[in-house]
Amino acid sequence: MGIRRLRSALRELDCVAPGRFDVAHWEPVLVEAFRALGAQRDRDVLEAKMQPQLQAAGAPLAALPDAGDESQAPGAGEVLRSASFQQLLVALIGFAASPESHAAPTREEAAAVRGQVAQRLARLHKQLRKAGKRFEDLSTEEQHRARKRLKRLRYLAEFTAPLFDKDKAMRYVEQLLPAQDALGDYNDDVVAIEAYRDAAAQDPRAWFAVGWLSAQQPLQAHSCGRALQALGKAGRFWK
């Protein structure tokens, strides 16, 4: 979550301070760590969430499928202990502790920053409402993109709340949470279906899990679409 928040800040706030962040050096290292942690997180979801549900439904596959080829990839711990990631942490500490002093922005400068941020908030908000209208017809990749945009919208709203009315911004964030929960559950099932489909190549019993999870997808996709469309009722605090 911390890495996702940092990557969201680098992506969405570069317009406010162009060149202020060392994105070219930070982003590749962050991506590697993010993917390693994501793979571990997906495995944890299978163990803690999907397996109990499947066992309760009478699934014949009682054990979690082997990780397969992914087991050959560097583990999350190995990636986080690597020199490149440790050097990045030191660089970020140095960045945060920079003694640079800046003059207070003028009223015009502050207004310009709010305008830039408002444009990005409005763009993400609009994209998500549009995705909500046809979520069930989107490809898996497009659905995943909507989920990432929703997280970026939430984080950007939290980051920049002090530029606007903070109370209104936090109320807006609260209205994003149902959609984030819905899309998160939906994504967990998508990831699990792929994992069990891969496992079925060695153990046909895994097809039960594929079928059971797939049967829930249409209703879940519909719920995701409705949750995204409900963002239209959220008070856009940046206006």
- Burial letters for 127-145: b for 16+ Cβ neighbours within 10 Å, e otherwise? bbeebbeebeebeeeebbe
Query: Which stretches of the chain are DSSP H helices?
Result: 2-12, 23-45, 51-56, 76-81, 83-96, 107-133, 140-160, 166-199, 206-214, 217-229
pLDDT tens figures, 157-176 = 999 999 999 999 999 999 99
CA distance 33 to 44: 16
User: For the segment 37-51, what is each residue's pLDDT rounded down to a tens digit?
Assistant: 999 999 899 888 888
pLDDT at 212: 95
Q: Which helix (H) or strand (E) holds 92?
A: helix 83-96
For residue 213, the number of C-alpha atoms closer than 13 Å in the C-beta half-sphere is 27
pLDDT by residue (tens digit) across 96-140?
887 765 667 788 888 999 999 999 999 999 999 999 999 999 999
